[in-house]
Amino acid sequence: MNNTDIQKWIGKEEISTCVIAVERANLMQATLNRQPTLSNGDNLPPAWHWLYFHDPVQGNALGVEGHPQLGGFMPPISFVANDGNDGDNQCADPPRRMWAGGRFVFEQPLRIGDHATKRSTIKSISPREGRSGKLVFVVVEHELIVEHEVSANNQRCLLEEQTIVYREPLQSRGVPVSPELAPAPRRSDFSAQYQPDPMLLFRYSALTFNTHRIHYDVDFCREHEGYPNLVVHGPLTATLLLDLFCQHCPEKQISSFDYRGHSPLFNPRPFTIHGNKDGRAWASNHAGELAMSAHISF
């Protein structure tokens, strides 16, 4: 991995536009087992912008793991393994990718039917080394701006900071290190339990145009990632945490949301999302261990 080369990606921008279509929002309603009752002009629920702004990447431009090949917008991260000789050989497998966490600042409502633009910028690239091996953290900033037909003043609706972590392939690490998972808090003011299944994960992958194989290819999960089963999307878990507060605190307006992934959730194990009225939120797995922590400000 050449740190100097990948640092050149800092500041790289990408712009996409779309209409916040009511049909896609109602498909998300159905995915969550709700009646498709949303209409144009309704506020889009928080984090549902992840259903939109997807580039039509062709299949032959995807990596073996299902993501667009690195070196386009995202930096060409690779890891190097020593072969015992004087030189280094680059690993054949691509790095493993995880959605580590992020932050939202909600500034204006994003409404169904809006014409919107998303400006994405690579803000930082940070190589590190941890217990599980070499890591590279990439922070991407997204701005969502709504175009107003009646005014020349476009308004920013959402500022998002997204942290993606890339890890060494399993072939360069051998047997994966099992992390020590922290227990989740036991008491919450409100909670909801979910039972993931391949149909839920497939629908959310389809709605977010996400072809990462960890969400639908169990053999890939086990052989390439060291996971026991299909992985629940981190963005889906974050969306459900926000949704919990929308249900239990409908009179409050969410101004910001910070979240961090601690450990994956797996099909078919049930998981629980929790919230406290002070804005603390978290997700726990079937064993009561912490999967995601978050804080919501009003």
Does the residue 114 lie in any domain?
Answer: yes
Per-residue pLDDT tens digits for 230-248 = 999 999 999 999 999 999 9
Take residue 106 and report the two structure tokens written for it: 């909600």
- Answer with the residue of higher pLDDT: 172 or 118: 118
Average pLDDT, stretch 89-111? 84
Percent of the chain residues topping a pLDDT of 70: 89
Per-residue pLDDT tens digits for 53-77 = 998 899 999 989 998 888 889 999 8
Does the residue 70 lie in any domain?
Answer: yes
| pLDDT(89) > 70 | no
| pLDDT(16) > 90 | yes
Does the residue 31 lie in any domain?
Answer: yes
How far apart are alpha carbons 298 and 58 in whole angstroms?
Answer: 40
What is the identity of the amino acid at 42?
A: D
Q: How confident is the model at residue 273 (pLDDT cuts 50, 70, 90)?
A: very high
| pLDDT(88) > 50 | no
Can you give the pLDDT at residue 240? 98
Q: Is the dihedral of CA 80, 74, 124, 230 positive or negative?
A: negative
Q: How confident is the model at residue 86 (pLDDT cuts 50, 70, 90)?
A: very low
Per-residue pLDDT tens digits for 158-208 = 999 999 999 988 765 544 555 678 999 999 999 999 999 999 999 999 999
| pLDDT(147) > 80 | no
| pLDDT(223) > 80 | yes
Can you give the pLDDT at residue 84? 43
Per-residue pLDDT tens digits for 253-262 = 999 999 999 9
Can you give the pLDDT at residue 122? 97
Average pLDDT, stretch 141-157? 78
How far apart are alpha carbons 257 and 259 in whole angstroms?
Answer: 7
Counting the structural domains of the chain, the total is: 1
| pLDDT(4) > 70 | no
Helix runs in the chain, H state only: 3-7, 22-31, 170-173, 198-207, 218-220, 234-248
- Answer whether 293's CB lies under 8 Å from 260's CB: yes
Does the residue 160 lie in any domain?
Answer: yes
Does the residue 83 lie in any domain?
Answer: no
Does the residue 211 lie in any domain?
Answer: yes
How far apart are alpha carbons 44 and 67 in whole angstroms?
Answer: 26
Provide the CATH number for the domain around residue 166.
3.10.129.10
Domain that holds residue 223: 3-78+88-297
Does the residue 180 lie in any domain?
Answer: yes
Does the residue 236 lie in any domain?
Answer: yes
Can you give the pLDDT at residue 85? 45
Q: Three-state DSSP class for 253?
A: coil
